[in-house]
A and B are shown apart, each in its own frame.
Chain A
Amino acid sequence: MHDMSAQAVHHHAPPTGFIRKYVFSLDHKVIGKQYYGLALLAVFIGMVLSWLMRIHLGWTNAAIPGLQWLSSSGAPGGVMTPEYYLELMTMHGTLMVFFVLTTAPFAAFGNYFLPIQVGAEDMPFPHFNMMSFWVTFVAFCVTVSSFFVGDGPPLAGWTSYAPLSAVGAVAGPGQGTGQVLWAAGIAIFCVGQLLGSLNFISTTLDMRCKGMSLWRLPLTAWAWFITSLMGLTAFAVLMPACILLILDHVAGTSFFVASNLVINDQLQPHSGGSTLLWQHLFWFFGHPEVYIAIVPGMGVVSHVLISAMRRPMLSHRVLIYSMLALAFLSYMVYGHHMFVSGMNPISSVAFSFPTLAITIPSTIIVLIWIGSLYGSRLRINSASLFALGFVSMFVSGGVSGFFLAQPSLDIMLHATYFVVGHFHLVMAVAAIFGIFAGTYYWFPKVTGRMMNETLGKVHFWFSFVGAYCIFMPFHYLGMAGNVRRYSAFVDDFMQPLIPVHKFITIAALVTGAAQFIFLYNLIYSRFKGAPAPQNPWEATSLEWTIPSPPPFDNFGGKLPVVYHDPYQYGVESSTGDYVMQDSPEKIQSVRDEA
Chain B
Amino acid sequence: MRRAFAATSHFKGQIIMAKIFAVTIILIAIGSAIPILRHTWVAPPDISTHGAQIDEQMSETMAEAGISFLAAQIILALFIWRYSSRRKDEKIRTFPGGATGLVAAAVILVGLEVMALGAFGVKAWAKVYFTPPGPNAMPVQAQAGQFAFYFRYPGPDGKFGPIHPDKIDEGTQNFYGLDTSNDPDAKDDVVTAELGVPVNREIHLLMHSKDLGHSFYVRELRVQQDFVPGLDVSLHFTATKTGKYEIVCTQLCGLGHYNMKAYLDVMSQEDFDKWMKEQAANQ
Contacts and interface: CB of A to CB of B under 8 A. Distances in A.
Nearest to A345: B129
Interface in A278-318: 309-311, 314-315, 318
Contacts of A19: none
Interface string B189-222: 0000000000000000000011111010101001
Contacts of B91: 375, 590-592
A341 B226 contact: yes
Interface stretch (B1-9, B81-89, B148-156, B264-272): B81-89
Contact of A359 (B73, B76, B114, B258): B114
Given A267-B165, A407-B121, A415-B224, A164 B254 contact: yes
The CB with the most chain A CB atoms within 10 A, among B53, B69, B129, B209, is that of B129
B72 interface: yes
B229 interface: yes
Nearest to A404: B61
A267 B164 CA distance: 10
A310 B224 contact: no
A178 to B, nearest CB: 13
Contacts of A236: none
Contacts of B168: 262, 265, 267
Contacts of A395: 68-69, 72-73, 76
Interface stretch (A223-231, A491-499, A524-532): A491-499
Contacts of B275: none
Interface string A334-345: 000000111001
A406 B118 contact: yes
A209 interface: no
A213 interface: no
Contacts of B66: 399
B134 interface: no
B213 A164 contact: yes
Given A357-B111, A368-B99, A371-B99, A483 B42 contact: no
Contact of B255 (A86, A157, A275, A464): A86
A388 B229 contact: no
Interface string A189-208: 00000000000000000000
A359 B210 contact: no
Contact of B230 (A258, A309, A403, A569): A258
A129 B42 CA distance: 51
Contacts of A594: 94, 98
Given A396-B32, A480-B41, A403 B103 contact: no
Interface string B219-236: 100111111111101000
B145 A591 contact: no
A519 interface: no
Given A262-B177, A485-B252, A591-B92, A363 B106 contact: yes
Contacts of A577: 88
Contact of A163 (B25, B105, B223, B229): B229
A379 B14 contact: yes
B79 A341 contact: no
B242 interface: no
B252 A265 contact: no
Contact of A399 (B18, B68, B75, B86): B68
Nearest to A319: B99
Interface stretch (A32-40, A102-110, A348-356, A549-557): A348-356
Nearest to B127: A408
B259 interface: yes
Interface string A131-163: 000000000000000000000000111000111
Contact of B169 (A265, A359, A379): A265
Contact of A310 (B92, B106, B110, B219): B92
A594 B146 CA distance: 65
A411 B217 CA distance: 9
Contacts of A44: none
B98 A314 contact: yes
B201 to A, nearest CB: 21
The CB with the most chain B CB atoms within 10 A, among A263, A340, A357, is that of A340
Interface range on chain A: under 10, 10 to 19, 20 to 34, or 35 or more?
Answer: 35 or more
B252 A396 contact: no
A343 to B, nearest CB: 9
Given A341-B228, A406-B121, A407-B121, A380 B17 contact: yes
Interface in A42-90: 81-83, 86
B117 interface: yes
B248 A491 contact: yes
Nearest to B170: A265
Interface in A241-292: 257-265, 267, 273-276
B258 A161 contact: no
Interface stretch (A114-122, A426-434, A437-445, A471-479): A471-479
B246 to A, nearest CB: 5
Nearest to A352: B118
B251 interface: yes
Nearest to B10: A453
B93 interface: yes
Interface string B40-64: 1111100000000110011001101
A314 B94 contact: yes
Nearest to A264: B146
A156 B257 CA distance: 11
A164 B134 CA distance: 35
Contact of B92 (A366, A403, A592): A592
A399 B65 contact: yes
Contacts of B61: 402-403, 406, 409
Contacts of A346: 130
B102 interface: yes
Contacts of A414: 224, 250
A566 B44 CA distance: 54
A22 interface: no
Contacts of A472: 28, 32
A391 interface: yes
Contact of A468 (B32, B36, B69): B32
Given A395-B72, A402-B64, A314 B102 contact: yes
Contacts of A411: 54, 125, 128, 222-224
A124 B101 CA distance: 41
A373 B118 contact: no
Nearest to B232: A342
B276 interface: no
A500 B210 contact: no
Contacts of A372: 95
A363 B128 contact: no
Contacts of A267: 165-166, 168
A448 interface: no
B122 interface: yes
Contacts of A407: 121-122, 125
A477 B171 CA distance: 38
B69 A399 contact: yes
28 contacts: A86-B254, A175-B254, A258-B229, A261-B229, A263-B146, A265-B171, A267-B165, A267-B166, A310-B92, A314-B98, A342-B227, A360-B106, A360-B107, A377-B87, A378-B83, A380-B18, A380-B21, A381-B14, A392-B76, A403-B61, A406-B57, A408-B121, A408-B122, A472-B32, A476-B40, A484-B250, A486-B257, A493-B246
